[in-house]
Structure 1
Amino acid sequence: MKIMYLTIELIVGFIFLFIIVKFVGKKIINKISPFTFIAAIVLGELLGNALYDHKIGVFYIVYSMTIWGGLLFSVEYLSQKFLSFRGVVEGKPSALIKNGIVDRETLRKNRMNINQLQSLLRQSETFSIREVAYCYLEANGSISILKKSKYQKTTQEDFNMPSKIVSAPVTLIRDGEVLWDEIFDLGFNESWLKSQLNTQNIIEYKDVFIAEWLQGDGLFVQRFMD
């Protein structure tokens, strides 16, 4: 008897889940916003808990999924109709880098630090902040990058260029703190660092928000005042 009830519940749950996803749209699968991501998790939990709770029958599965699906559909409908409501539910992208400058205030508002930004950039195959013209933190937590023109992708075959050794950028100063281990690993010293900063009219380390060294491209520096 339990097997028969479980079979019926599985079939009903499967059909209703299919209908809800079909009506609400593909956004719930793509996790296009934090709301749809959490809504998808709750929807799965509702079905999963109902299936394995022997005190809950088919009616309660249908009822709970109908209510939740109706709420999801209502939110999606209102998001399509009203721009202000869409902004509240889906959120808006935040510009973390503008014109090649890291916006520290926007980082703070999104509860991020420079380490996390660098990590997200590396995951997007961008290993240096100097390459980025604009970087947006999307509502779903991913980032979108527009690189500076000289760093946009081209192929060596297009220009018959010989292959070059690829070097990774190394962060030397972060949040005003000098990473001496990185400097010594590169074979440099404090005198070298000071001379590099002096060429950019920087005297104090504490004035530097981020400094990166890239072989062949020199030192990239952004000050706090920038």
Structure 2
Amino acid sequence: MPEYLQVALRSIFILLSLFAITKLLGKKQLSKLSFFEYITGITVGSIAGTLSMDLNLPLSEGLMSILLWFAFPLLFSFLSLKSIRFRRFAEGKPTVFIKDGNIDEKALKKEKYSVDEMLEQLRKKDVFRVADVEFASLDTNGDLSVLLKKEKQPLVREDVFDISQKSTPPQAVITDGKIDQKALAEVGFPLPWLVRELSKRKLTVESVFLAQLDSEGNLTFDLYDWTNTQ
């Protein structure tokens, strides 16, 4: 068989194998990848490219190497879903950079973040004065979350009009790791909203023992590891 045809067949086979393995890892945006997952992706790409072009390398051994490199992120992802403690160990916790308009220099130094880099991230969120920031933290995915002080936040309808809504008793929208869509509908919130709120808190449905929600959007959690968050 001509070499060019062997290279083509090996490349197609490797691409199909990578596609199948990637489907097992699930969908995740590039900006949401952990450092370990990012390095794994680069290494696997390098192995796949070499394996496609070098006909002297056994295809079976190369695929075994790729499978091993994919196995560890898959294992880490599985353990992170099952254990909040492991997830915090593997991915870390957000680091507070600004609180009450004051910069935490030690936190910047710990994350190897310069003041200029932090100011650049603030400008991307249309914030130009540190004194206007109530709270800013570097999330585990590298994003900077910013909360402006109350007087610096955009004016909303509730600030102008005295709007009162009829409150309903809190409903158990998640019980024993399962979503109760009927209870969710009773308080007037759609399923995508609850999913987004869980994502903001770095939680999964399976990690929540009990979640209660009222009609005003107050959401409280009781997790399997007995850690409470709001």
- Per the normalisation by structure 2, the TM-score is 0.61
Q: How big is each residue's C-alpha offset from its partner over 1:184-220, in whole Å with a ceiling of 9 and x where there is no partner?
A: xxxxxxxxxxxxxxxxxxxxxxxxxxxxxxxxxxxxx
For 2:36, the equivalent position in structure 1 comes to: 35
CA displacement at 1:96 relative to structure 2? 0.4
CA displacement at 1:149 relative to structure 2? 2.1
- Aligned-pair Cα RMSD in Å: 2.3
For 2:98, the equivalent position in structure 1 comes to: 97
SS at match of 1:26: coil
Distance 1:46 1:88, change over 3 A: farther
Distance 1:58 1:8, change over 3 A: farther
Matching of residue 116 in structure 1 with residue 117 in structure 2: yes
For 1:129, the equivalent position in structure 2 comes to: 130
Distance 1:28 1:59, change over 3 A: farther
**Higher Cα radius of gyration:** 1
CA distance in 2, matches of 1:62, 1:10: 12
Matching of residue 5 in structure 1 with residue 24 in structure 2: no
CA distance in 2, matches of 1:6, 1:91: 42
For 2:151, the equivalent position in structure 1 comes to: 150
Count of aligned pairs: 157
Distance 1:16 1:31, change over 3 A: farther
Answer yes or no: is the 8 Å Cα contact 1:8–1:58 preserved in 2. no
For 1:202, the equivalent position in structure 2 comes to: none
CA displacement at 1:32 relative to structure 2? 3.1
Report the residue type matching 1:34 in the other structure: F
CA distance in 1, matches of 2:101, 2:139: 18
- Per the normalisation by structure 1, the TM-score is 0.62
SS at match of 2:7: helix
Distance 1:28 1:124, change over 3 A: closer
CA displacement at 1:30 relative to structure 2? 4.0
CA displacement at 1:29 relative to structure 2? 3.7
SS at match of 2:128: coil
Question: Mapping of 1:1-226 within 5 angstroms?
Answer: 1-27=2-28, 29-154=30-155
